[in-house]
Structure formats: structure tokens, C-alpha cells
Amino acid sequence: METEKLTFTGNESAALGAKLARVEVVATYPITPQSTIVENLSRFIANGELKAEIINAESEHAAISICIGASLSGARTFTATASQGLVLMHEMLHWAAGARTPIVMAVTNRALCVPWSLHADFQDAISQRDTGWIQFYCENNQEVLDTIIQAYKISEDKRVLLPSMVSLEGFILTHTVERVDVPKQKDVDEFLPPYKNEFFYIDPENPLAENVVVLPDWYMEYRYQQEVAMQNAKEVIDKVSKEYFDKIGRNWGGLIEAYMMEDAEVAVVTMGTIAGTARVAVREMRKKSGKKVGLIKVRCFRPFPVEEFKKFSSLKALAVIDRSYSFGCGGPLCTEVKSAFYNTEEKPLILGVVAGLGGRDVNVGDIINVLEKTIEVSKTGKVERETIWLNLKGEQLR
């Protein structure tokens, strides 16, 4: 495998991923920390490095609508946004999924207002959980580039035909330079053939009506098809990950990555860059104290890897770290992990941890503390508090 080893920010990696995927229509609206993705794509197009049309929309709501129109008309389509822009898109995210448009969108995760914040937080993407999009969360810039290319192959698979979001945390990845191996265009072209939709097309000889009104006699069947597509996506994601490995030489796992889990007794479950920090914490704890700890990195939040989690039902305890929150309930990832084990005969105790909201740093020491607490839970057999807010100033509710 020939690759070019260079250094890029997360946003440059996202733009490169879209370029290598030979996107044909890009529509975006500027927002921090996304803007440099569209700036890079604009430059590629202006220099003739990428043959595509770019539309500077008047809002994110319009940007995603333009993408839906373009995708329904047969173009491979890309957009990127964050935070308020993503939640402004919310209405059209449902449209994109229901219309079965295989759009890929980079989300440079940023906290939502109020209070104002520019920094990393998954509340934007997690709030789109039920829109019917496939959701990937990336640990580093290399994974961003690779996942964007993979996402097109997954989304455009005719068993799937659903849009994909690829999340990279604001500033932590978007504006941080890392080494990135850039695959050769020829290898990507072989991995990802041009987009052709056999279900939607614009043909006056055989006119199609798309997105028509459906009455109660058929609506449920339409929605069930979306669920079938999501379930199919699980298999397709695994398959595409393996194909990518064969062609390009990297495998990030399918829906999850189990790290040092072979003999683990307790583990931490998380997504995105916190998984990178947790990787170091697990390694250090094992090295220093020989404690049997591991990491389960959730790469794909939708479809949710229920079956993959069930394989870990014999663990004694898990801590789930969320970089977002569902007020009045708990961490969204934690809630999902708990529900995955509900019908298993044995199940781990689960400790909810909320950390890193609004870009607050989560370091190796923090994860070691969480794992120590999890070991304690595994020994006492008791979870005293369902959710801990990590490093919170002041007292916490009991």
C-alpha cells in the first residue's frame, strides 16, 4: 500500500477524505469550528484538484436541503457543520434519512447554547440520535479521513441508503495537527466506485414522484424499511471496514473497538477523543498495577452495537463516559449501554460518568480515577450514584 505521510488538522483530514471520495456537490454554511473544512474544499475546487460544485448556502438548514436535492438527483454529496448549525438542520436530517439520501456530513462537535461555548461536546450530534442517520465518532485525524471515505461506501450500499454523520470534536481534532497517512487516489477509486442510484433518477420518460404523502395504511412500512436499512448497516459497516483494510491497510474496527478486553474484568466505554486518552490510561494501569482493565470504544452510535455489547455480559463492572447529557435521565451512551444488557442473563454493574462538557479537559489521570472507582464498584457490588459529573465544582446531587 502506497500512502503519503503528512501532517494535517482534523478539518484538513475531513476535507481530504471528501476530496478522495470524489464528492460532486458540496453545500455548507460557515460555523466555528467547521469553517476550514469548506475553505479547504473551496480551495481544492478552485485549483482544479477536485471536480465538484460548491454552494455557499444562506443557512445550514438550506445547506442540508440543497444536499438532499442534489443527492436525490444522483450526485455524491457532502456537507459539514457543528453545534447550532447542526441543530438548525434537525428538521432536514429527518428528511435526508427518510428520503434515503446517502449524504455524508462531517460534524465538528461543539457545545450548544446556552451558555455560549465554542468547545468540544457531543450534545449537537447526540441530539440527532433519532433522525435516522448513521453516526460515527472519531478518535483521531486519521480515523476522520478514513471514516469519511468508508461512510460513502456504507451509505451508498443499496441495502443501506442512509446518510452518515462523521463526528470529530471541535478544536481537539479540528484544529490539532497530527500525522495522517493519505491513501492514493487510485486505491480509493478502486475501493469506492462512482455513486449510482438505481432507485432515484430524473427521467422524463419514466417520471418518478419522490417523498409523496403516505397515509396510515403504508407509513409504518416505510419506517420499518428505515430500520431494516439500519440493521443492514451493521453488517455493511463490518464488511466495509475489512475491505478498507484490504485495500488501504487500516482497520478501525466495525461498530466498536475492544482494546485490551481479552481478560478484562472491568472496562471503560466511551467515544471520540476520550477513547484515545482512555487507551493510554488502560495501558498505564495494566503496566503499573497489573489490574485487568480494558476499553470499549464505540465507533458507531447509530446503529447501536447491541450484539457487540452482549458479548461482554460477564464483565463485573463498566464505566460509561459521556461527553453529552440527557437532562432528567443520564448520559445518552450510558443509557444505551445499560439497555443493551437488560435481557442478558448476567450483566455488569454500570457506572455513569459525565465528563468533558463544553471542552473541559479529560486527562489520563481522570480516566484512571474512573477505572479505580469501577474496580471498587465491582468489589462492593454496588453503584452508589448512577451518574457522576467528573471534576464538577461544588456538591453533586445524590
Partner 1 sequence: MPSKPISIKDFPKDEFMVKGHTACPGCGMAIAVRQALKILGKNTVLAIPAGCIAGGSTTGPFPLSGFALPTVYCSFDETAAFLAGIETALKVKGLKEKFNVVGIAGDGGTADIGLQCLSGAVERGHKIIYICYDNEAYMNTGIQRSGTTPYGAWTTTTPVGSLRMFKQEPKKDMPQIMIAHKIPYVATASPAFPSDLAGKIKRAMEIGGPAYIHIHTPCPTGWRFPPEKTIEVARLAVLSGMWILYEVENGVFKLNVKISKRKPVKEYLSIQGRFRHLTAEDLEKIQKEVDENCKRVGM
Site of interaction with partner 1 (CB under 8 A):
24-25, 27, 52-53, 55-59, 61-63, 65-75, 77, 91-92, 95, 202-204, 207-215, 218
Alpha-carbon distances, residue 368 vs 179, 319, 371 (angstroms): 27, 11, 5
- 334 CA to centre of own chain: 16
For partner 1, give the closer residue by CB, 74 or 358.
74
CB of 303 to partner 1, least distance (A): 25
For partner 1, give the closer residue by CB, 98 or 358.
98
3-state secondary structure of 68: helix
3-state secondary structure of 300: strand
For partner 1, give the closer residue by CB, 62 or 349.
62
CB-based contacts of 56-61 (< 8 A; 24+ apart in sequence): 56/28, 56/29, 57/27, 57/28, 57/29, 58/29, 59/29, 59/88, 60/28, 60/29, 60/31, 60/85, 60/86, 60/88, 60/89, 61/88, 61/89, 61/91, 61/92
Measured from the Cβ of residue 147, the count of other Cβ atoms closer than 10 Å reads: 28
CB of 62 to partner 1, least distance (A): 4
- Which among 343, 359, 199, 341 is positioned nearest to 272, based on CA atoms? 359
Backbone phi and psi for residue 384, each to the nearest 5 degrees, phi listed first:
-75, -35
CB of 86 to partner 1, least distance (A): 16
For partner 1, give the closer residue by CB, 70 or 318.
70
CB of 202 to partner 1, least distance (A): 5
C-alpha cell of residue 276: 484515545
CB of 53 to partner 1, least distance (A): 5
For partner 1, give the closer residue by CB, 213 or 397.
213
For partner 1, give the closer residue by CB, 116 or 222.
222
For partner 1, give the closer residue by CB, 72 or 264.
72
CB of 222 to partner 1, least distance (A): 8
For partner 1, give the closer residue by CB, 114 or 213.
213
For partner 1, give the closer residue by CB, 161 or 268.
161
Instruction: Return the axis-axis angle of helices 35-46 and 10-20, rounded to nearest 10°.
Output: 40
Q: Rounded to an integer, what distance in angstroms lies between the CA atom of residue 278 and that of residue 328? A: 27
CB of 198 to partner 1, least distance (A): 15
CB of 101 to partner 1, least distance (A): 10
For partner 1, give the closer residue by CB, 65 or 277.
65
Beta carbons of 125 and 201 less than 8 angstroms apart: no
What are the residues whose beta carbons fall under 8 Å from the beta carbon of 203, sequence distance 6 or more?
Answer: none
C-alpha cell of residue 304: 447501536
CB of 73 to partner 1, least distance (A): 3
- Which among 326, 327, 312, 322 is positioned nearest to 351, based on CA atoms? 322
CB of 214 to partner 1, least distance (A): 4
Alpha-carbon distances, residue 395 vs 246, 280, 367, 391 (angstroms): 51, 29, 20, 10
Q: Rounded to an integer, what distance in angstroms lies between the CA atom of residue 3 and that of residue 214? A: 49
